[in-house]
Structure 1
Amino acid sequence: MKKWLGPLIGILVVLGIGAVLLISPYNNLVTLSESVDKHKSEIDNKLQRRMDLIPNLVETVKGYASHETEVMTNIADARSKMAGASTTAEQLEANDELSSALSRLLVVVENYPELKSDAHFTQLMDELAGTENRISVERGKYNEAVQVYNNKVQRFPSNIAAKIFGFEKRPYFEAQKGAEQAPTVDFGNGAK
């Protein structure tokens, strides 16, 4: 019976040391994951603010440009898609569509000088611009948190804890496709 006691203690010591060595990386990964979630929540908060502003903006524009139904429909559809997005990938896609629809709305606005001078419209545009800036800042913070987290998930020795406990890389919030090129504006045909 005593023959088994030595190896059993040795195995328990090795397992104990292994568990202790996993505690710190695990706790660090949890902290970094929570940081990513916090920054994602801040983006969601700002996106919700933008979504709350859009109906007022659309209603104001409708008063001046009621025949621009396609643009208004695209905005409503994009808002619905954004509200129904459940994953970061779906949210990114819906955000791209909403940003594109808002860009088309701004092109329409250019055709209505009296709308641009409307105080309510101007206030809404200022609020929307401020919200867009805050979204941009929060995206940057989120991407920084994702970078730190993803590095930890991939680097040794924390990658071992990440694999054991199911921590996976997180996606970055990236610019929409074509964002590096300025849109072409043609007041006869809209944005291209």
Structure 2
Amino acid sequence: MKKWLVPVIVILVIVIGVYKWGVGFNNTAIELNESVSESWANVETSYQRRNDLIGNLVNTVQGAADYERGTLVEVIEARAKATSVNIDPSNITPEQLAQFNKVQGGLSGALKSLLVTVERYPELKANENFLKLQDELASTENQILTARTRFNEKIKPYNNHVKKFPNSILAGWFNFEGKPYFQAEAGAEKPVKVDFSKK
């Protein structure tokens, strides 16, 4: 074997190794990113289900002639804000996620006010449609929690893949950045105060 051939073979082996590493990194990052996108779609689907149910709930509650309209208007406005925020999961930023969380939290707060206020109306509490919608909303809130948890579970392996060395070097070249986790809504750590007294 000629002496000049040894360095060529070594360089060729190194180039092939780096190429395989780059391809492997890129393909795995794409697969993990797709899992994150799918999980985000499930989060949005759960929120969409809640928004659809809220529309039905509002229509049912509007049937109560003596109902307090102010609370109803707050729910309608909060729902409109919540449906106006859209996020691209491939380019999700902490700021976008915080904005999404803020408007969804506003809707949750308005919805809680609505349900607490409804306690003052026995005829509405006994309405079969209202009770069914209330149960479906409770179920949907659980689905939202599950979808958000699964979204965070998909973020972890993606972030580990693109942030750990030496993959972090390739992540910069291929434009793969870490993604933010879904955080609890502001004030979620405080206990909910329920007041059934008439004002």
Q: State whether structure 2 residue 50 is matched by structure 1 residue 41.
A: no
Q: Give the % identical residues.
A: 41
Q: 1:103 aligns with which of 100, 106, 112?
A: 112
Aligned to 2:146: 137
> Number of paired residues?
186
Shift of residue 11, structure 1, vs aligned partner: 6.6
Q: Secondary structure at the match of 1:25?
A: helix
Distance in 2 between the 1:29 and 1:60 partners? Answer: 47
Map 1:165-180 → 2, pairs under 5 A? 165-180=174-189
Unmatched 5+ stretches in structure 2: 1-5, 88-95
- Residue type matched to 1:31 in 2? E
Change (3 A) 1:169 1:114: same
**1:26/1:158 contact within 8 Å kept:** no
Distance in 2 between the 1:13 and 1:78 partners? Answer: 60
- Residue type matched to 1:118 in 2? N
Q: 2:195 aligns with which of 164, 186, 190?
A: 186
Distance in 2 between the 1:66 and 1:114 partners? Answer: 11
Q: 2:102 aligns with which of 93, 98, 107?
A: 93
Superimposed CA distance per residue, residues 18-57 of structure 1 (whole angstroms, 9 cap, x where no aligned partner): 2222111111111111101000001111111111111110
Shift of residue 13, structure 1, vs aligned partner: 6.0
- Root-mean-square deviation (CA, aligned residues, Å) is 2.4
The alignment's TM-score, normalised by the length of structure 1, stands at: 0.86
Shift of residue 100, structure 1, vs aligned partner: 1.0
Aligned to 1:70: 70
The alignment's TM-score, normalised by the length of structure 2, stands at: 0.83
